[in-house]
């Protein structure tokens, strides 16, 4: 079975962002793009990087 690398698990997204488990779930609650497949949460890789760019503060 081919893995879908375009969808990240919560753990994989957490590692990319280098944040804790509670922090990633808090971000999901307040608007981090995600989809639910049954009870599982997946974060589209491309949307995660778009979200990161939108959060970037430029001075």
Tokens linked to 18: 């280098």
H or E element in which residue 8 lies? strand 7-9
pLDDT tens figures, 5-55: 799 999 999 999 999 999 999 999 999 999 999 999 999 999 999 999 999
What integer pLDDT is reported at residue 2 of this predicted model?
Answer: 54
Residue 59 pLDDT > 60: yes
H or E element in which residue 36 lies? strand 35-37
Task: Please give the C-alpha separations between residue 1 and each of 4, 26, 27, 30, in angstroms, as whole numbers.
Answer: 9, 32, 31, 33
Task: Please give the C-alpha separations between residue 6 and each of 26, 35, 56, 59, in angstroms, as whole numbers.
Answer: 22, 12, 22, 32
In angstroms and rounded to an integer, the radius of gyration of the C-alpha atoms of the chain is 12
Residue 1 pLDDT > 50: no
Give the global pTM.
Answer: 0.82
């Amino acid at each position: 079975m081919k893995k879908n690398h375009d969808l990240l698990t919560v753990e994989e997204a957490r590692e990319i962002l280098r944040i804790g488990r509670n922090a990633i779930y808090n971000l999901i609650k307040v608007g981090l793009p995600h989809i639910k497949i049954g009870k599982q949460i997946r974060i589209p890789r491309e949307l995660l990087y778009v979200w990161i760019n939108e959060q970037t503060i430029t001075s």
